[in-house]
Amino acid sequence: MDAHGEIARTIDNYRDKVVALSHEIHEHPELKFQEVFAAGLLTKAASELGLEVEREVGGLKTAFRAEFGGKGPTVAILAEYDALPNGHSCGHNLIAGAALSAVAGLKSIASQLPGRIVFIGTPAEEGGGGKIILIEKGAMRGVDAAMMAHPTDMEFCTMPALATQHLRLTFHGRGAHAALAPWDGSSALSAVLQTFQSDDAMRLHLRDGSRIHGIITDGGQAVNIIPVRTECMFLARGKTSKYTKEIAERVLRCAEGAAMATGTRVEHEVIGGYKNLINNLSMARRYATHSEALGVKSLEAPADTPTGSTDMGDVSHVMPAIHPSFKIANRGEGNCHEDAFVAHADSKRGYDAMIRVAKAMAMTAYDLLAEPELLASAKKEFEARKES
Ligand SMILES: [Zn+2]
């Protein structure tokens, strides 16, 4: 059997259907955990492929799971489909389309598969950590390796995504008339401003590639009252989860220092965080080989590649995983989360890339099932790097 050829033919034949589906998702952007429309379309399409779909997996209304194949190891193909307040500016409609197409390709040879494929719908990548919840609820138990692919303005078979810690800081001051008796007050806003300044001073001492960025979510109650309560949020990012925790602790110390200096009190809450992405090179290189054969070189991302964060990082800490980036826009013409990227996520270029990536993923998944030494090498590498 020419498995790769059959996969490619099936995905080509599936193109019109999956492009229409991906476009529909694009036209109905839904925020994290609210992806009812997208999950509905994807589960319907999976059922039409003959899959038995489990809905509301892990207690998440918009998560789903479908499994097929024969005896042997199991590879998961993950779909994301949540949007941002400015629409599908992260192109998750293409991630969903690529995953579904890959599954369609593999389903066409299901009876000859030397293992199992799991199609998992993972909600809320944008700040909700759907994959973390699914891991905790056991939805990824028994899976040997996982993959997904994300559109950007770069083409790479790896993505050095950073770990994050999301902090909320609340300051409590003492209110007073801002003109009549300011000496009776202590400003919770001054504490926020000092926190930002201390963080800026601290940046110099962070390791390369680290990030701290924050916003003020409550700046006070009225201009003529010394602010009694203020709130700000920070994201700390770093190359490893351990170091990111250290950065978040430094941000907290800046806040405590600011509170002391301004006579206020600070409370903090760790809202959540993602782990850094450990790119499994055994898998990524095989994916790159298929991508190149399909006409597009997908190199390993250099260490200083600009990057964000993803809950796929958490998946990569429990099993071998890849998260290649595929290019749907030129540099400078809009990248992820920018308004301009919304149009790229619904373009012919985007859909062409989605189909090619679907083939490369499906062929890689097939190879992991059909070549025990490839999966063994992915697992060996995972074991050696999992604490990083
Ligand atoms: Zn994204």
pLDDT at residue 387, rounded to an integer: 63
Distance 201 CA to ligand 1 centre (A): 30
Distance 160 CA to ligand 1 centre (A): 14
pLDDT at residue 386, rounded to an integer: 79
Q: How many CB atoms lie within 10 A of CB 50?
A: 10
Q: Is-contact 314 275, C-beta < 8 A?
A: yes
Distance 189 CA to ligand 1 centre (A): 33
| All residues at 6 or more sequence positions from 213 whose CB lies less than 8 Å from its CB, including other chains | 234, 235
In tens, the pLDDT along 219-255 reads 999 999 999 999 999 999 999 999 999 999 999 999 9
Distance 287 CA to ligand 1 centre (A): 20
Distance 155 CA to ligand 1 centre (A): 15
Element (H, E) at 67: strand 64-69
Q: Quick one: which of 123, 130, 161, 133 has its CA closest to 25?
A: 123
Distance 373 CA to ligand 1 centre (A): 32
Q: Is-contact 99 322, C-beta < 8 A?
A: no
pLDDT at residue 190, rounded to an integer: 98
SS (H, E, C) 165-201: EEEEEEEECECCECCCCHHHCECHHHHHHHHHHHHHH
In tens, the pLDDT along 365-386 reads 999 999 999 999 999 999 998 7
Distance 257 CA to ligand 1 centre (A): 35
Mean pLDDT per block of 10 residues along the chain (388 residues) reads: 95 98 98 98 98 98 97 97 97 98 98 97 95 97 98 97 97 97 98 98 96 98 97 97 97 98 98 96 98 98 92 98 97 92 97 98 98 98 84
CA separation for the pair 265, 255 (Å, rounded): 9
Distance 285 CA to ligand 1 centre (A): 22
Distance 70 CA to ligand 1 centre (A): 32
CA separation for the pair 228, 243 (Å, rounded): 33
Distance 124 CA to ligand 1 centre (A): 10
CA separation for the pair 212, 196 (Å, rounded): 10
